[in-house]
Chains A and B, each alone.
Chain A
């Protein structure tokens, strides 16, 4: 970068500072209420209190909701990633009849509104006895994220030179063993990115869980939060603490993957 192209510092720090305030003040506001004693109106949460976390975790059942959300998210991530690996590999490494049509169809599924699926999926899950089980959410979530995951995975696999695999075949490996030995180790950033997307969207899913789970011991965190929001007299400290419980896992995952996000996308994974 040449000197002449340097942007004046204030033109960076001023808009960035304003935008950082807009991003961070809302986060601060929820932390403030989660850690501040009931009845206090101070703008700093001091002295710190953990009573709201106790209320929400044990009293409001967030301990159970948290466990349900974790189970659903983990199962969804495994299901999505494994199926996307198989499908992405097929699209990346084979040319076969109907490949173009499959790609177009999968892109089209991105236009299907989630609300559209509520009614027919409710009927299917009722007929298959999956209603009010965590599996209904796992299946619905996974199906919704499969098309994009497969397309992204195919992009990541295409970026790995096929010659590596061919060398392993010469050495006597079959398709699967060759894939496991040569491609999979190099595919780690792609697998991390795709499973993280699946984790975040599964963790955040609200509408399916609201519709398909109807007993409180099956609720997920977003559903639990939404019921707290709808209560007549809201306990704001507990609500904020519930929000913090909801945000911590996604923030941790996000902090880990955010550098892959831009790199992966600029490597051309979603282009073309």
Chain B
């Protein structure tokens, strides 16, 4: 039966099906063109204008004026440096903990299914909700600090979020809480595709546990790690929900990422022209970093 139909396949390609794939893709194509491609193009256009919906009398063409202003804007440079710091710290910590968690969950033990569901669950939690939860933890009247002070440890009235020195790490910890499951899920999926025979062969050859991890597991995970770190870095770069609500970029703009700066310019200040110029720079920087990262990853593979 199968052989018969497979042999009959070429004859079944009717000429009127030539347009079918395009028709099927048309709804997606139209939506993406109108609401994604066109808007990206219009950002380039806006970035050349002074455009503030609340001050229409000031609007007009300024050429590269917005870009020149951006280069003189201290907050732009500061937010750029902080974005790099935020992405590198978050992605590397999430990768290390996610990998460790995936290795543990990949073993067989009692209670595995329920533990897996529980440790993965923060993945589904939104940035705003993460803020709500961690605000209750960090707040001086509702948080752990107050209960520790009650027990005689530390002092009352301190919030990790309002001290410039600790705000960064407080935000890092909250983002880590919901970010680690992403890596754990992707790496666990890849771990499960490693054949057990490889480990048994290595064991016969006398390879220890660490050696097996280093020579079998890690090389196998290589592509998954490259892909997941890249996706996550882009995501951590772009996503502003958590920082917008948790610190709002503060204290004193010390936790302001570039996309957060864009969002504040767009949502709060309605400075669409300048915001568009910032957006363009964010997009270009992200694209250059991503391509460089992929190129380095590939170069690393070829030298092996």
Contact = CB atoms under 8 A, between A and B. Distances in A.
Given A1-B196, A90-B25, A111-B234, A258 B43 contact: no
Contact of B128 (A114, A119, A206, A262): A206
B68 interface: no
Q: Which of A22, A99, A109 has the most chain B CB atoms inside 10 A of its CB?
A: A22
Contact of B133 (A1, A16, A29): A29
B267 A118 contact: yes
A252 B184 CA distance: 20
A119 B190 CA distance: 39
Interface in A236-263: 236, 239-240, 242-243, 246-247, 250-251, 253-255, 258-259, 261-263
Contact of B6 (A24, A30, A166, A250): A166
Contacts of A243: 129, 132-133
Interface in A137-192: 139-140, 142-144, 146-147, 150, 163, 166-167, 169-170, 175
A43 B147 contact: yes
Which of the four size classes fits the interface of chain A? 35 or more
Interface in A3-46: 4-5, 7, 9, 12-13, 15-16, 19-20, 22-24, 26-27, 29-30, 33, 41, 43
B131 interface: yes
Contacts of B290: 111
Contacts of B101: 15, 19
28 contacts: A16-B115, A33-B142, A86-B27, A87-B28, A111-B286, A113-B259, A115-B260, A116-B259, A116-B262, A116-B279, A122-B272, A124-B35, A146-B32, A167-B2, A170-B8, A204-B126, A204-B128, A210-B267, A211-B266, A225-B132, A229-B131, A229-B245, A236-B139, A236-B142, A246-B126, A251-B121, A261-B189, A266-B193
Interface of B: 1-2, 5-6, 8-9, 12, 17-18, 20-22, 24-25, 27-28, 31-32, 34-36, 38-40, 42-43, 46, 97, 100-101, 104-105, 107-109, 113, 115-129, 131-137, 139, 141-142, 147, 150, 177, 185-186, 188-190, 192-193, 196, 199-200, 203, 209, 227, 231, 234, 237-241, 244-245, 259-260, 262-263, 266-267, 272, 275-276, 279, 282-283, 286-287, 290
